[in-house]
Amino acid sequence: MSALPTAHNDDTIVSLATPSGRGALSVVRLSGPLSFSLAKRLAPGLVLSRSRSLASLFKEGRLLDRALLLLFPSPHSFTGEETVEFHLHGNPLLVDELLEALLSLGARPALPGEFTYRAFLNGKLDLLQAEAVDSIVRALSLRELRAAFQQSEGLLSKRLDSLREDLLACAARVEARMEFPEDPGLFQTPLPLDPLKGVLQAAEEILRASPLLAPEAESLEVVLLGRTNVGKSSLLNALLLKERALVSDLPGTTRDYLSERILVKSRPITLYDTAGLDPSESRPLEKEGMAKTLGLLEGNKLLLFVVDASLPPSPQDREIFSRLSDRRVVLILNKSDLGRAFSDEEAERLFPGTIGTVSLSAKKGTNLPLLRDLLERELLLCSPEREEELFLNRRQRFCLQSLSLSLRKAIAFAEEDAGEEFVAEELRSALSSLDRLTGRAGTENLLEELFSSFCVGK
């Protein structure tokens, strides 16, 4: 398939817009200059001046389905082009029949993200809004969903547009001073730095309003660790309520690590189940698994240190625990259904400084709600909800950071009287960061990469 930006934008594209499978309805979306005429060929009774019709669709003279057709004339559609939505009965065979018919009449299958890409090209959305459309589909929590929706409505775009105006005004002034050095009017007053400082402050506020930034930081990250066979995989399964991790009686079945997401109070938590830690291990594969486990502990993760509390604490438990100093650790006393070999007090003495202790049985599910409550509390602590939130992705964050860096430099150069050309250069790069952020200036490669990560039909 050709890459998006070079794809033929005057083609009429078609794709299933709802998940494939059986259901009450399936929606097929057709967009491009031939949309109305193709719809009319399949549904001869269709009245093109009506925005909505119940119509009989025919393929090679056979009745295919009676479907609801929504007609959007250009530019009043999501893509800005002539668009038809076919609301069929939800059967994949029917969808295939319709797609085949449309393709044989001259439509072509849409590439991933191509509908949104066209909306972007036709000025219906800027890049931030287009990305937000994807975020709405992918959001894992109500909080993310709300933020993505606000962003799709252009909340951030509007703010950035007004920053751009301020920035442009300053940059124009600096450029003018370079262009007309002999004009005394331009030099009578020093460069006004307040607007620039205002833009800098606003950019940094936007960064701060984004509590959950890079994709991997979009949730609380929780690592299960401990010796082999203490029940880490069983605990992961109990939290997931499904058999994802392989539970076995033999020590050492999770040689690498697994990660899974769960929702606690509709917010995502990423759980990592790790290879058991055995400080005396010498076999290469097992050692590699342990090295990966220790590597996972980097960053601000919550650690669930699991011990088998039905057995006396082993020196290995204590040795592993001693490597976790300065970390946020919750002590999990597992296998409580088998009886306890030591009390909570002894546990706290042996494993001091944890942020909480939960005695539970991963196998029987006893006390799991206590652990869920604790995770919820941690989740709230790590990201208190705010009135207004922006969930910036890595690309957006990077552009904003570059913008604020350039502004800082421009302000410093201006304050040091370092020379107009230095200030001008930084302001140009600040503007270019801002334009890359909103897609006003975007390289073709960037667009291609972004839209191809969308679902087909979006």
Interface residue list for ligand GDP (CB under 6 A): 228-234, 247-249, 253-254, 276, 334-335, 337-338, 361-363
**Do 14 and 107 meet the contact criterion of CB atoms below 8 Å apart?**
yes
Considering the complex, what minimum distance in angstroms separates the CB of residue 232 from ligand GDP?
4
Measured CA distances, 312 to 48, 233, 245, 352 (Å): 79, 21, 26, 17
**Do 159 and 143 meet the contact criterion of CB atoms below 8 Å apart?**
no
Residue with Cβ nearer ligand GDP (31 or 237): 237
Considering the complex, what minimum distance in angstroms separates the CB of residue 75 from ligand GDP?
57
Considering the complex, what minimum distance in angstroms separates the CB of residue 360 from ligand GDP?
7
Tell me how far apart the alpha carbons of residues 430 and 423 are, in angstroms, rounded to a whole number.
Answer: 10
Residue nearest ligand GDP, CB atom distance: 231
Considering the complex, what minimum distance in angstroms separates the CB of residue 290 from ligand GDP?
13
Considering the complex, what minimum distance in angstroms separates the CB of residue 351 from ligand GDP?
17
Q: Would you state the structure tokens that stand for residue 420, as one six-digit string?
A: 């107009």
Residue with Cβ nearer ligand GDP (247 or 424): 247
Tell me how far apart the alpha carbons of residues 256 and 29 are, in angstroms, rounded to a whole number.
Answer: 43
Residue with Cβ nearer ligand GDP (274 or 402): 274
Residue with Cβ nearer ligand GDP (191 or 277): 277
Residue with Cβ nearer ligand GDP (253 or 429): 253
Considering the complex, what minimum distance in angstroms separates the CB of residue 312 from ligand GDP?
16
Q: Would you state the structure tokens that stand for residue 3, as one six-digit string?
A: 């890459």
Beta bridge partners of 220: 269
Residue with Cβ nearer ligand GDP (234 or 393): 234
Considering the complex, what minimum distance in angstroms separates the CB of residue 229 from ligand GDP?
4
Residue with Cβ nearer ligand GDP (129 or 233): 233
